Amino acid sequence: MEEGLKTADPHDCSAYTGWTGIALLYLQLYRVTCDQTYLLRSLDYVKRTLRNLNGRRVTFLCGDAGPLAVGAVVYHKLKSDCESQECITKLLQLQGTVVCRDPDLPDELLYGRAGYLYALLYLNTEIGPGTVCESAIKEVVSAIIDSGKTLSREERKAERCPLLYQWHRKQYVGAAHGMTGIYYMLMQPAAKVDQETLTEMVKPSIDYVRHKRFRSGNYPSSLSNETDRLVHWCHGAPGVIHMLMQAYKVFKEEKYLKDAMECSDVIWQRGLLRKGYGICHGTAGNGYSFLSLYHLTQDKKYLYRACKFAEWCLDYGAHGCRIPDRPYSLFEGMAGAIHFLSDILAPEASRFPAFELAPSQRNTKM
């Protein structure tokens, strides 16, 4: 991978396809192995990203928030508190852009407000509660909720789906650009969304999306799309499953766990992708659904499924898969596969990068 990165775009600093994603991978390897060499390697890539911030986007995966958040965490782990705080300060300076009522700024995870919210919650998870004050988080959450309520009223869906979102004038469902990724973020405990909002607005919106699933158990890419084709984290069951598992944790209703298990069956049947090995639309991202479900249920069937998808990734290049545009990146290529494989080695501490904020908690009830 390191050899291949010599030809990568030197100006792509994103977590999705650029150098911040590689820094995240080495941070993950440090977390799994406790080998300081990996942390220092992560620092090398962090420094590269922080020199090339472009100010065009605000999210963790595709904008400046990612390099700044990861930089803050790496410097914190190296006890370089001044550098860490400088990154945090710069990240919080993006807040005004996020909470303004700019109609061109979406709410989704990849390019929108939910992606900035992730960066804030990531800091509080990795560095400690209070790293980002609760009022800053609340302000972003309020902007996301207000935006969802406004579109729902405009589309006359307020009773059926109180929080409705769109990207490029299309009401996407999946984790990357769609409603499930936004609902997932709003259900994070660290987002501090009050129980009344969760029950009266988030929950019925989740149920509205649940009722859009295909007979196969898969989900459409958007509310207007009737083609049962995509089984990716970005579009389809592998992204929706994370929302369903979080809904089960928050609302304690078996229907969400049942739906998540049905998503798992879809992914098991159709989730080995010729599109590649990465996280966004590849086998590694699909494999994480099994690992997360294993954490929730402790059913070893799901760990087995995760291991079988990992075996596919170990035979990298042997399946005739399409070569992605950024073949060594975290969300499209080899770095994503390595991240997934490292989590298979430490399943009790695994974490889906840039989606799960902390290792999934065991469900002691089951």
Q: Which residues are annotated as a binding site?
A: 234, 280-281
Q: Are 277 and 320 in contact (CB under 8 A)?
A: no
172 three-state secondary structure: strand
The two structure tokens encoding residue 147: 């935006």
Task: Give the separation between CA 223 and CA 213, rounded to whole angstroms.
Answer: 10
- Residues 56, 53, 339, 343: is their CA dihedral positive or negative? negative
Task: Give the separation between CA 229 and CA 306, rounded to whole angstroms.
Answer: 22
- Alpha helices (H) along the chain: 19-33, 36-50, 65-77, 81-92, 95-99, 113-126, 134-154, 179-186, 195-197, 203-210, 237-251, 254-270, 283-297, 300-314, 334-345
Q: What is the DSSP letter of 321?
A: P
The two structure tokens encoding residue 354: 């840039």
Q: What is the DSSP letter of 319?
A: S
Task: Give the separation between CA 154 and CA 166, rounded to whole angstroms.
Answer: 12
Report the phi/psi class of residue 80: left, alpha or beta, with left for phi > 0 and alpha for psi in -120 to 50.
beta
Q: What is the DSSP letter of 347?
A: G
DSSP assignment of 203-262 equals HHHHHHHHTT--TTS---SBTT-------SSSSSHHHHHHHHHHHHHHH--HHHHHHHHH
Which positions make up the binding site for Zn(2+)?
234, 280-281
Question: 172: which strand partners?
Answer: 222
Residue written as token pair 């989740």: 206
The two structure tokens encoding residue 33: 């192995």
